[in-house]
A and B are shown apart, each in its own frame.
Chain A
Amino acid sequence: MAETPWLPHNEAEPTVQLVLPDGSENTDTQWDHYRNLVKDVDAATWRTWYRDMALMRRFDEEATALQRTGELALFTQARGQEAAQIGSVHATRAQDWIFPAYREHGVLQVRGVPLKEELHLFRGVDHGGWDTEKHHVHLNTLVISAHTLHATGYAMGIQRDGLVATGDPDTDAAVMVYFGDGATSEGDTSEALNFAAVNQAPVVFFCQNNQWAISVPGTRQYRGPLVRRGAGFGVPCVRVDGNDVLAVHAVTREAMERARNGGGPTFIEAVTFRQGAHTTSDDPTRYRGTDEEQYWSQRDPVERVVARLRAMGAWDERFHTEVTHEADEFAAELRTYVRSLGRPASSAMFDHVYATPHAINQTERDWFAGFERDLADGEGGH
């Protein structure tokens, strides 16, 4: 293996891995426990995962293209993180809740949040207000780590509602919160871990360690491996190969089960890689080398699923064509939709600032309406 100075904590920490990068099974017996947890994963499930990951990747490509052509102001690329997101979200149930950061496109998609609605935020037409109740997916949070506390509080609420450890698998609920390696440095993350531990709240902290927080690598972000971050708070931790969808699914399934059963929080470090830029405004060539990108391209999560399906004899060109076709249609619809998104009314900024009447809000709204009218009448005159 090439020298990997950018992965200083990798070699030492045990990392759950069930499928090797070439698609063959990892037979290492130390992971038998996790292997047994996902014995029920059959070829049909693998195909579902492949489809979800392929669509997620296509979304990434399409949204990036839309940004390049000026249809979006910005886009947060997630290429490379497909296994981490798809493997984990498939461990959630309808009654569970998700608190995403801003790169969790695959998670949103599987939960049924229309991804085209997520793009409202990136086109600048609204702040992204999809129906959170419908999908049990909270809004994106752009302020790093603030939502780790919200997820914890939400989980404390579920606990108070008596919806943990009832023994009914369709009732017991938990919360999963997604955040990055950089986010672990914010005080909020530590506070969330502590609150979750003290309350034994049903929340799973899913850290996608994609190696970079914009231009800052893990080596400058933290010293002790992230996977040990929870231990001091009394939160069980597990590190997983984030590009191995099966292993991600296994550890997340266990963590969510534990949470739903009243066993409290878990911290998961999913080791993955952001293949794209931080956002479309970012230029990774300024801070990282192609050697690192090559290292990770040999561990591409989507290719690994294809290899696994092949090894299982469950891959055929017809299936591949079907998914590609679906992705084409999905992309075309996305394009049409985004381009059709008009400019919101300017008065929309005064909407929903308060839930009850507020005199200043009302006065300013009225003033603005009058101002716009005068402008339209040409009385503004300038």
Chain B
Amino acid sequence: MAEQRIPLAKAINAALEAALSADPKVLLMGEDIGPLGGVFRVTADLATKFGEDRVVDTPLAESGIVGTAIGLALRGYRPVCEIQFDGFIFPAFDQITTQLAKLHARSRGRLTVPVVIRVPYGGGIGAVEHHSESPEALFAHTAGLRVVSPANPADAFVMLQEAIACPDPVLFFEPKGQYWAKGDVDLSAGPYATGQSVATQFDTLNTAKVVREGTDVTLIGYGPTVVTALKVAQSAAAEGTSIEVIDLRAISPIDFPTLIESVQKTGRCVVVHEAPVFFGAGAEIAARLTQECFYHLEAPVARVGGFHTPYPPAKIEHDYLPGLERVMDAIDSVLAY
């Protein structure tokens, strides 16, 4: 095992490198991803290593990036697109939702479109508008797209490889606020790193992970909110409350069996994401858990997340984001039943 302690951004870089090395059909496309290495340096040095033909600085046009990626995929390539920031994915929304998502079904399964769209997302970094949003629900709402988000470097490394190897289109949401958070990564894991570039198992794209066991409340997060959830669990433990933390990882599909098993045990559940609560992933989770765990639930499923407002200016973003206090408050509310 080649285990290394590296930041999440570096883990993504390593996954891209593994895929580029193992499969000549893999190519990266995006704005400023070449010599600059991306505005977050996630693709640093890859243009030097693999050439600007495979790590392509595209013209500034998101619809163009995704639209041509679809064409390249139809021709047998595996494009991995980078959208520079969450708020700039929308010029490509048409291509993603009307084309990318539907081609497999429309061709009655004849065509596959293995495009990965990497999106740095989430807030808390003090940025100007359009640079801190969490639009994942818009894509999870669209059948035909897989939507995932890693919360730590080890998962990022494997999940991105599986996303690239997967014949389905994958929206890969990267918690940009966690880019520099380090974790241990097994650099020999994942379909490309293990040298079997044709994967048949896509475990991490389909499964949630219990990251801390507990008995009183199930706390579900993904991407940037897993760290928050773990902190909450830690301080709750000091007060005698045992919280089970689940990292969802996949937002489409959602691994309901894992969630149900946990909630049947705890009887209480809180979901936390940065995206607005209104019509957010938490709504889907709450509804299904209510249906599946009705007789086990001691309290309604609580949701914590962004508000039904535009993402606010940086000075007050921490009051928009679901911080420790608001998650604790929700935990208290479900325990109060």
Contact = CB atoms under 8 A, between A and B. Distances in A.
Interface of A: 73-74, 120-127, 142-144, 182-183, 185-188, 213-216, 220-222, 281-282, 286-287, 343-346, 348-350, 353, 360-361, 364, 368, 371, 374-375, 380, 382
Interface of B: 31-32, 34-37, 39, 57, 59-64, 87-88, 90-91, 126-130, 235, 278, 307-310, 312-317, 319-320, 324-326, 328-329
A127 B129 contact: yes
B35 A215 contact: yes
Nearest to B318: A346
Nearest to B307: A364
B60 A182 contact: yes
15 contacts: A73-B126, A121-B128, A121-B129, A127-B129, A143-B87, A143-B88, A185-B64, A186-B62, A214-B31, A216-B60, A220-B57, A221-B60, A346-B319, A349-B316, A380-B325
Contacts of A187: 61, 63-64, 91
B315 A220 contact: no
Given A74-B127, A187-B91, A382-B324, A222 B308 contact: no
Contact of A124 (B32, B313, B326): B313
B49 to A, nearest CB: 16
B315 A123 contact: yes
Contact of B316 (A143, A222, A344): A344
Contacts of B64: 185, 187
A74 B60 contact: no
Nearest to A189: B61
Contact of B59 (A121, A143, A222, A349): A222
Given A348-B312, A360-B308, A382-B235, A216 B91 contact: no
A122, A127, A144, A215: residue with the most chain B Cβ atoms closer than 10 Å: A215
Given A127-B129, A187-B63, A382-B324, A286 B313 contact: no
Nearest to A223: B59
A16 to B, nearest CB: 26
A349 B316 CA distance: 8
Given A186-B60, A187-B64, A350 B35 contact: no
Contacts of B36: 214-215, 286-287
A364 B308 contact: yes
A361 B31 CA distance: 36
Contacts of B324: 382
Nearest to A283: B36
A282 B84 CA distance: 14
A353 B320 CA distance: 14
A286 B38 CA distance: 11
A124 B314 contact: yes
B129 A348 contact: no
Given A214-B31, A216-B31, A122 B128 contact: yes
A343 B315 contact: yes
A214 B64 CA distance: 18
A282 B32 CA distance: 11
Given A121-B128, A353-B309, 13 more contacts: A126-B313, A127-B129, A142-B128, A143-B130, A182-B60, A183-B60, A185-B59, A214-B36, A215-B36, A346-B316, A349-B319, A371-B326, A382-B329
Given A144-B60, A214-B39, A216-B32, A349 B315 contact: no
Contacts of A222: 59
A124 B126 contact: yes
B59 A221 contact: yes
Given A125-B315, A144-B60, A382-B324, A287 B35 contact: yes
A37 to B, nearest CB: 33
